[in-house]
Amino acid sequence: MSTVFVHGLGYVGLPTAAMFANYGHDVTGYDTDDAVVECLRGGGLHIEEPGLRAFVTQALESGKLTVAHEVDEAKYHVIAVPTPYDRGAGVPDLQYVRAAADAIAPHLRTGDTVVLESTVPPTTTVDVLRPVLERSGLSAGTDFALVYCPETVLPGNIITELKRNDRIVGGVNGVSTEAAVRLYESFVEGEIYTAADATTAEVVKLTQNTFRDVNIALANELALVSRDYGVDSRRVRELANVHPRVDVHHPGPGVGGHCLPVDPWFLGYDSDSLRLVPVARAVNDGMSDHVVELLEAELGSLAGRRIALLGVAYKRGVGDTRRSPALAVAAALRDAVEEERAAPTDGGAGSSGGGIDVRLHDPHVDDESLGLVDFDRAVADADAAVVVTGHEAFTDLDPERVRDAMAGSSVVDTRAVLSVPDWEAAGFTVRRI
Ligand code: SAJ
């Protein structure tokens, strides 16, 4: 078994490092954040993901996985660092990819393989990674293998998908591709497909997430159209999907996470051909305003209202709040009240009514900076509750208990996880997207 060095111990890097270790490789995991290294060394875990604690513990206790503050030599270097996108500036931030390459270059030896797994704009492997690594004096494709092999794991099901999903491998040449295939074969149970080159594999990855984002936009738009015709969008979806070649996705309060809202922009980074994709992004981003409209339809003015937002994670069963629809809904609610106050009233000036009290609650999220409150505080005397994330804890809520705690009787269920008959029987008005 080979030595594998994993750069970046986040949602992808940490399970990947543990996977290689649990399949017999000698693995070193490295993170530039000392707190992450110390946390793991102390037996902690900085990520909420089902099954990950036991999986990482197994790797550490077997001695096959160690966690390091320093980069070192290894037969394989796997890069799984973040690639944020600055939408304002319209540029992908590749500083962590460059830093990983910088750190690897002095330790690169003839015969090594460098694999990039992070999601990146097309041509990053050859235009950004390759020149930095070649500062070692070695040439990609001849002296060392250089490959793009995108991760495809779904947060909430990472360990299973890491093992079972098919993989795409695209190297700068055939020798590179083969080197990476040999590495991933050691644990991947799915097919390993080879792409003609690294750029093809990069475009494939972005295509997968863009496909999903655009399809969710279609589901969201169909939900709005269904409402205009007074028909139940969920039933429309179910019946449309009986067709063997139709698979309408689920509408919701928007698209969050670190992948779907970002990757479509990566796809168009150096292409002038994107037309549909930006529109789909705008449809998905606009869903937070639609949630506000549903609340206004129930409550009229939002000024001075107390609103419980249930669910701050970007999707069910995870604790990740990156680009979460809940944060967009909270901001849209505050904006709506600002607009109300600025709008001229009969007397001429804007209204002086109160602001809005938005209470955020999520049993999966542990982030003090968000000012989360417990469930009882979120719903106490609330005028309305909005289910933004479809966590199981909300599906299991007792509507009578919630009714007794709240002042109002309005619920917006953006994920369609509540039993409408039960909530209506308890006296609630339930609105869905
Ligand atoms: N969502 C909807 N309606 C749907 C499906 C999802 O509104 O029908 C929303 C979710 O609630 C969430 C967002 O979309 O806010 C994204 O969730 P997701 O489960 O679709 O995807 P991610 O971001 O957790 O993971 C995606 C996956 N990509 C695909 O399914 C094509 C995963 O396989 C990738 O590995 C991951 O991105 C990544 O890291 O790129």
Digitized pLDDT (tens) for each residue of the chain, 433 residues in all: 679 999 999 999 999 999 999 999 999 999 999 999 999 999 999 988 999 999 999 999 999 999 999 999 999 999 999 999 887 777 889 999 999 999 999 999 999 999 999 999 999 999 999 999 999 999 999 999 999 999 999 999 999 999 999 999 999 999 999 999 999 999 999 999 999 999 999 999 999 999 999 999 999 999 999 999 999 999 999 999 999 999 999 999 999 999 999 999 999 999 999 999 999 999 999 999 999 999 999 999 999 999 999 999 999 999 999 999 999 999 999 999 999 888 876 655 555 567 999 999 999 998 889 999 999 999 999 999 999 999 999 999 999 999 999 999 999 999 999 999 999 999 999 999 9
Does the C-beta of 209 come closer than 6 Å to ligand 1?
yes
- Per-residue burial over 370-404, b = 16 or more CB atoms within 10 Å of its CB, e = otherwise: bebeebeebbeebbbbbbbbbbebbeebebeebbe
Does the C-beta of 10 come closer than 6 Å to ligand 1?
no
CA 259 to mean position of chain CA atoms: 5
Catalytic annotation, pick one of 64, 149, 259, 315: 259
The answer to whether 418 touches 397, Cβ cutoff 8 Å, is yes
Does the C-beta of 260 come closer than 6 Å to ligand 1?
yes
Cα 96 to middle of ligand 1, angstroms: 23
Does the C-beta of 315 come closer than 6 Å to ligand 1?
yes
* Nearby residues of 164 by Cβ (< 8 Å), 6 or more positions away: 189, 190
Q: Which residue's CA is the nearest one to ligand 1's atom 20?
A: 212
Catalytic annotation, pick one of 64, 149, 163, 205: 205
Between CA 230 and CA 78 the distance in angstroms is 52
Cα 220 to middle of ligand 1, angstroms: 15
Q: Which residue's CA is the nearest one to ligand 1's atom 37?
A: 259
Does the C-beta of 302 come closer than 6 Å to ligand 1?
no
Whether 163 is catalytic is: no
Q: HSE of 344 in the Cβ direction (CA atoms, 13 Å)?
A: 3
Whole-angstrom CA distances from 313 to 6, 82, 255, 402 are: 27, 19, 11, 21
Between CA 195 and CA 75 the distance in angstroms is 22
Cα 216 to middle of ligand 1, angstroms: 9
Would 3-196 and 206-283 be classified into the same CATH topology? no
- Per-residue burial over 273-293, b = 16 or more CB atoms within 10 Å of its CB, e = otherwise: ebeebeebbebbbbbbebbbe
Does the C-beta of 197 come closer than 6 Å to ligand 1?
no
Between CA 325 and CA 149 the distance in angstroms is 29
Domain residue extents for the chain: 3-196, 206-283, 286-432
Whether 149 is catalytic is: no
Does the C-beta of 314 come closer than 6 Å to ligand 1?
yes
Cα 154 to middle of ligand 1, angstroms: 7
Kindly state the helix (H) or strand (E) to which residue 342 belongs, with its residue range.
helix 325-342
CATH tag, 3-196 = 3.40.50.720
Fold of 206-283: N-(1-d-carboxylethyl)-l-norvaline Dehydrogenase; domain 2 (1.10.1040)
Closest CA to 417 of 290, 248, 234: 234
Amino acid at 75: K
Q: Which of 208, 211, 212 to mutate for ligand 1's pocket (most ligand atoms within 8 Å of CB)? A: 212
Superfamily of structural domain 286-432: NAD(P)-binding Rossmann-like Domain (3.40.50.720)
